[in-house]
A = this chain, B = another copy of it.
């Protein structure tokens, strides 16, 4: 089904569809980040896997937090970061995710609304806390994430505001949500609704360990529902269980209408049936924290796509947004991305 979908620009402009109220609607784990700096010995001592995302329970979250230095709290969550990026470019974005009524939940909702993202929170669930992600930033600017999902992982089909999904030119889903079965079901539910309304469906693979844990489900979703696949090189290799980037490109090309794959400092590659476009990374004076690099790449790419820009321009917007977010601490842009164009 993925291959037969139109491009987003067509989905926006096609006369037989209701005009899209949003350019992009994101669904993801609603998390507040706790960002702290530590050196490599901390990573080793705490047996963390540098650069990865690990799910942790509340006890582990408490002990890890205790062991860390002073932190800064900032709203995060992969797809939420992407929606903030879309809004920062001037796009219309909405976000579906589950928070609690606690302090962090209020912070999360505020920070989305403050940048103009329409927030459609799922229903609260008892006294489960808002999810948080303890991010350890090492001197090499790598981020190592430790997520206590809290209430965010309880996202289930009734939490998906179908009117919002139906009103978005592109649905954007975060692979991290795949870690709980109910959320996976919510994904299917949302992507089917999007397609019923002639919208595009996109997915980001999020993390190679996450892909490892759920490879079959990811493969099925990509084949059945996904029009645009986001991910980095490692995640793509893991998805198709291949060892070279060329093999991975061939595999995704057979599977999906479009893929936008990031390769760190090397830049990114846009893959369609017809072409493979190589996009350079934007130069950055100093990389301070790579948190949000992939999320913001997706925001630029999706903003460009929904504005009907050529794919090479979409990729360039992704690179610009990535470069901004890795040049400071924190997962969301500190300037209006539209001012960087």
Which residues of A pack against B, CB within 8 Å?
A: 34, 36, 65-66, 68-75, 84, 102-104, 107, 110-111, 113-115, 129-130, 330, 332
Contact = CB atoms under 8 A, between A and B. Distances in A.
The list of the 9 closest CB pairs from A to B, nearest first, reads A73-B73, A103-B103, A70-B111, A69-B114, A70-B114, A103-B104, A72-B74, A102-B103, A70-B115
A73 B114 CA distance: 15
The majority secondary structure among interface residues of chain A is mixed
B69 A115 contact: yes
A273 B34 CA distance: 48
Contacts of A66: 110, 113
20 contacts: A34-B107, A65-B110, A66-B110, A66-B113, A69-B115, A70-B110, A70-B111, A70-B115, A70-B332, A71-B107, A71-B111, A72-B72, A72-B74, A72-B330, A73-B73, A73-B74, A73-B107, A102-B102, A102-B103, A103-B103
A291 to B, nearest CB: 13
Nearest to A330: B72
Given A36-B114, A73-B73, A73-B107, 12 more contacts: A34-B107, A66-B110, A66-B113, A70-B75, A70-B115, A70-B332, A71-B107, A71-B110, A73-B74, A102-B102, A102-B103, A103-B104
